[in-house]
Amino acid sequence: MRHHASLFGLTLALPLLIWQLLFFVAPLAFLVALSFWTVRNFQMQPDFDVSNWVRIYTREVFWQAYLRSLILATAATVLTSAIAFPAAYAISFKLSESAKRWIVFILVIPFFTSYLVRVYSLQVFLSDAGILNAALGYFGLGPVLMLNNTFGVLVGLVTLCLPLVILLQTFSLNFVNRDLVEAAHNLRCGPLATVFRVIVPSAKVGLIIAALFSFILSFGDFVSPLYLGGGNPPTLSIMITDITKSGQQWPRAAVVAITMIVSLLIVAFASIRFAYKERGR
């Protein structure tokens, strides 16, 4: 019987296992191997040469791009979480069940349209002669530079992450035990203090996972930094495309890509560990 039960469990897990092996682990292993190959006359050759790693890691521009990617992703995550939370709180705690369903539906709509199309429309919106500056000009202000700078990138990244983060936060807030909220009120904790003392700690795991998604999406994003940030200074994603375009340097691009993946793994691991950390003995 036990044998059958475990066989059944294995069968259920099999599709995921095959998929992950085929499309995640295998390419990743290939990427690692690739990072040691060499390029001669624009031709890649299997090799075991650490020069790609040395070459990338000793270039200052790589570390600048790394830092910029980290800062952009962190800023986008903080901004998105801060903007999303009041909305998620209102949806979860203040709306009726039917209104909640409508809002969830509306939040899914942005995923219907391509992110690239949305970023192009943001370009029109944010440019010097764009709609926003025209509106500011009407009040005798501006034009304010909103494109090809950090502001533009952040607008793109936050727009990208916001619907997903609001959804994840809302779901986690829906699971907050309402008795805890009342108990806090009953112990003289006012409504605002209860948000920070009870609701946020109760929904901690979900809020951190939502922020993690935002970080992962922003850190690897290539569209916003390129089309709204002008691609200069580069982020790691932009750097990868630059490297591959110049002289077929796929092995060096692989070094950057592996660095990104490892960084995300560390961030993900640390945040999940933090999320599930328990108090007391």
Partner 1 sequence: MQNTPIVAFDQVNKSFGNFVAVENVSFEIGRGEFLAIMGSSGCGKTTTLRMLAGLEAPSQGRILLDGEEVGDKPTWSRDTPMVWQSLALFPFLTVQENVEFGLKMRKVPRKERIERARKWLDRLGILEFADRNIAQLSGGQRQRVALARSLVTEPKILLLDEPLSALDAHLKVRMQSVLSNLQKDLGITFVYVTHSMSEAFSMADRVIIMSRGKVEQIGTPEEIFHHPTNRFVAEFLGSSNIFTGVISSVNGDTLSVRTKEGVFEIRNQKKLEKQAGDSISFTVRSEQLKLDLEDSKPLLNSIVATVVGEEFSGAMANIFLETADGLELQVQKPHEEIRKLGVRHNRNVVAYFDPDQCHILSEG
Give the nearer residue to partner 1 in terms of CB position, either 199 or 238.
199
**Which CB atom, from 198 or from 257, has the smaller least distance to partner 1?**
198
Site size toward partner 1, by CB under 8 A: 22
In this chain, which stretch among 46-54, 183-191, 227-235, 243-251 interacts with partner 1, using CB under 8 A? 183-191
Residue 99 in the binding site for partner 1 (CB under 8 A): no
- 193 near partner 1, judged by CB under 8 A: yes
The three-class DSSP label of residue 100 is helix
Query: Tokens 């200074």 appear where?
Result: 233
Instruction: Round to the nearest angstrom and report the end-to-end CA distance of the chain.
Output: 38
Binding status of residue 280 toward partner 1 by CB under 8 A = yes
Helix, strand or coil, per DSSP, at residue 95? coil
Q: Does 188 bind partner 1 (CB under 8 A)?
A: yes
Residue of 100, 74, 113, 67 lying closest to 239 (CA atoms): 67
192 binds partner 1 (CB under 8 A): no
How many other CB atoms are found less than 10 A from the CB of residue 76? 27
Query: Of 116, 147, 117, which Cα lies nearest the Cα of 131?
Result: 147
Rounded CA-CA distance 120/118 in Å is 5
Q: How many residues does the chain have?
A: 281
- Residues from 195 through 214 that contact partner 1 (CB under 8 A): 198, 201-202, 204
CB of 195 to partner 1, least distance (A): 13
Give the distance from CA 33 to its chain's centroid.
27
- Output 49 or 182, the one with its CB closest to partner 1: 182
Q: What share of the chain is helix, strand, coil (3-state, %, to 5)?
A: 75, 0, 20
**Residue 179 binds partner 1, judged by CB under 8 A:** yes
x/- map, 222-261, partner 1, by CB under 8 A: ----------------------------------------
Asked if 172 and 229 count as a contact pair (C-beta separation under 8 A), the reply is: no
Minimum Å gap between C-beta 165 and partner 1 is 21
Which residues of this chain interact with partner 1, rule CB under 8 A? 177, 179-180, 182-191, 193, 198, 201-202, 204, 278-281
